Structure 1
């Protein structure tokens, strides 16, 4: 095939491929491509994505090459086009190319008494499809708008009566049976929380492969993981999927609030309902904190179009401190101003939020158990930090041992 014939071709990528919006991982711009047939997710750079997004069967390679030259100030020659088309064909991304083989599933992690997971639903997609059809009425604006108004009113009511609810929760702590009943209801609320993620994600085109039970003692909880959230067409759909669980937690509490209000102060059920309202609201709002792996962290990552926000903000903070010490801003030039603000602001916000949580928890423990107990959160954090550092050192030591043994075997052979 001559060069002119090659440039006259009008190749087309498979129409079912889904392209995500431009994302950021550190200073780099990345593009995700989802192949629903092969079940693969590919990560591309800006140049590769620019080309693939224009291979729609209506543009010739010459036209795409001209647009590429304008955008990147460089031209693709015949060898580059042949290499690119061969790669796309081999990966099964071009239309009429052989179907790609699905990737081999990773072996499931071994479960133990301390941590693990078990699949509860044989066909999770079919179950979500049935639930999606049955709950279609709840996704109408005529239902969602009043629901959000009621949830807002619930939050306002809990805030106004927080002192009373706190006292009733303290009274309930003296009744283990009632406390266990509250815990059971909260666990049910968390199960509905996960199903809400799945249903909202399903409404926007997401896929749920598995519903099951996960445990990390002493916690046990249901999970319903939504795939392909990054490939939703609108950012608000991604954020809505992340926040659906917290809204479900609060909606679960709606029937209990008027019951609590109508009961007289001396009623035996008041502490039970008060603790349920206070703890349930705390669980819902706690999930909205922008800390990994909470829902608030996921929603913020979707809003900023950033991958691994916590990791990259930590890396940026280290880079910023190193640049300040060396008085060299060259390593920071790859970060646009908006991205610097996002990473720096997130790192600062996390530090302030973590300090506030430790201070609040320490103050609560000190008030209830004495001044010495107030230092327990700090001591626990330091112990966790020491264990993490020891684990990192042990991992590095093992890696060095493996490397040295490999070199020794090479010398022997």
Structure 2
């Protein structure tokens, strides 16, 4: 978009309706915001200054007004060339209302594009989209479950699952023996695996319901298969654009909480049985496998839910990737690396340094546990 110099100051830009503008996130040394066009699905990151301007492009403020606000905030005014570049970028991406050649004024309906096939892949590996409109289907599920999604219900459930895991931790030896006993009985083991598969299905639906509770979209619900395994999946794409980090964390962690809630009746049954019986052994194995499934998913490593929870809680983008980049700079001794490190804030040094250290310790602990287990198996 190009305007004559005399028209530039009076122009009142407005972003197209429906665009999503995310909150501030730290990416390396920079603070960024992500903007997305739901109609096309395209998104890109902008800096704090660009976000300041875009958030105020409401069709009421002129560029002169925006320039004054920008000057008060950042201590400098933008020149005509800066404005032309910014408006040209927004216009070329179809993000300005009335921009020629842009995307449609109204965003596309929630869900997947109609041209995408429901079944993709080969008999060995593929995807089956189970519902044509994931947003509508998850919305119906949310409305049905709304009475039990209130804090008065969810907080006691959270307390119960914490108490359950503490109780199971006190009986870890019994659970381990039960899992070994279960592994030697294929029919019972198959039943336990079917229950865990059902837990995974509920895990994915829990993400969708949590997303609906906070008003963000559910793009896809379907089935992934890679022979011999098949798992449900749910794609919630737009929750990082929510302004509340708490809501983002809840959506990220809803699946793991569902896994643990699923185990509550089995834990009550297990606790009511006397030690030594076959039923208690089978339940011990199920509880150990189910708890491991849920708790491992909370480990803050990609692509696990725990990683998304930590990234959302801290307001970080590309946490693992940026940590690797940061550690690479720390290990480098060249002047360029020192210059680039100087651009990192104190907070950035802290979050990337601690995550790198914690990841290294976690990997070392897992490696030590595997070596110890292998050694015991060889000796016995």
Q: Same fold (TM over 0.5)?
A: yes
Matched, 1:274 2:295: no
**Which structure: larger Rg?**
1
CA RMSD, 1 decimal? 2.6
Tell whether the 8 Å contact from 2:181 to 2:282 is kept in structure 1 after alignment. no
> Which of 297, 311, 322 is the equivalent residue of 1:312?
322
- Which residue of structure 2 lines up, in the alignment, with residue 100 of structure 1? 103
CA–CA distance in structure 1, aligned partners of residues 51 and 127 of structure 2: 37
Structure 1 runs not aligned, ≥5 long: 372-413
- Which residue of structure 2 lines up, in the alignment, with residue 122 of structure 1? 132
Structure 2 runs not aligned, ≥5 long: none
The 5 Å alignment of 1:1-400 reads 3=5, 5-97=7-99, 100=103, 111-323=121-333, 329-370=338-379
Q: Deviations over 1:37-57 (max 9, x none)?
A: 343323223332221112123
Judge which range, 291-300 or 9-18, deviates more: 9-18
C-alpha spacing 1:326/1:58, structure 2 compared with 1 (3 Å): closer
CA–CA distance in structure 1, aligned partners of residues 226 and 249 of structure 2: 27
CA–CA distance in structure 1, aligned partners of residues 157 and 45 of structure 2: 39
Q: Deviations over 1:306-339 (max 9, x none)?
A: 221111101111110003x779622201111111
How far has the Cα of 1:97 moved from its partner?
A: 4.2
CA–CA distance in structure 1, aligned partners of residues 44 and 161 of structure 2: 39
Tell whether the 8 Å contact from 2:91 to 2:99 is kept in structure 1 after alignment. yes
Judge which range, 65-74 or 54-63, deviates more: 65-74
Judge which range, 176-185 or 86-95, deviates more: 86-95
C-alpha spacing 1:96/1:327, structure 2 compared with 1 (3 Å): closer
SS of structure 1 residue aligned to 2:121:
coil
C-alpha spacing 1:77/1:20, structure 2 compared with 1 (3 Å): same
SS of structure 2 residue aligned to 1:185:
helix
CA–CA distance in structure 2, aligned partners of residues 39 and 317 of structure 1: 33
How far has the Cα of 1:79 moved from its partner?
A: 3.9
CA–CA distance in structure 2, aligned partners of residues 121 and 276 of structure 1: 31
Higher share of residues assigned helix: 1
CA–CA distance in structure 2, aligned partners of residues 36 and 327 of structure 1: 39
Tell whether the 8 Å contact from 2:329 to 2:338 is kept in structure 1 after alignment. no
Tell whether the 8 Å contact from 2:23 to 2:242 is kept in structure 1 after alignment. no
CA–CA distance in structure 1, aligned partners of residues 356 and 336 of structure 2: 21
C-alpha spacing 1:55/1:273, structure 2 compared with 1 (3 Å): same
Number of matched residues?
370
SS of structure 2 residue aligned to 1:239:
helix
How far has the Cα of 1:133 moved from its partner?
A: 0.7
C-alpha spacing 1:218/1:366, structure 2 compared with 1 (3 Å): farther
Tell whether the 8 Å contact from 2:216 to 2:238 is kept in structure 1 after alignment. yes
SS of structure 1 residue aligned to 2:323:
helix
How far has the Cα of 1:113 moved from its partner?
A: 4.9
CA–CA distance in structure 2, aligned partners of residues 369 and 31 of structure 1: 53
TM norm structure 1: 0.82
CA–CA distance in structure 1, aligned partners of residues 146 and 120 of structure 2: 38
How far has the Cα of 1:156 moved from its partner?
A: 1.2
CA–CA distance in structure 1, aligned partners of residues 321 and 99 of structure 2: 38
CA–CA distance in structure 1, aligned partners of residues 337 and 252 of structure 2: 39
TM norm structure 2: 0.89
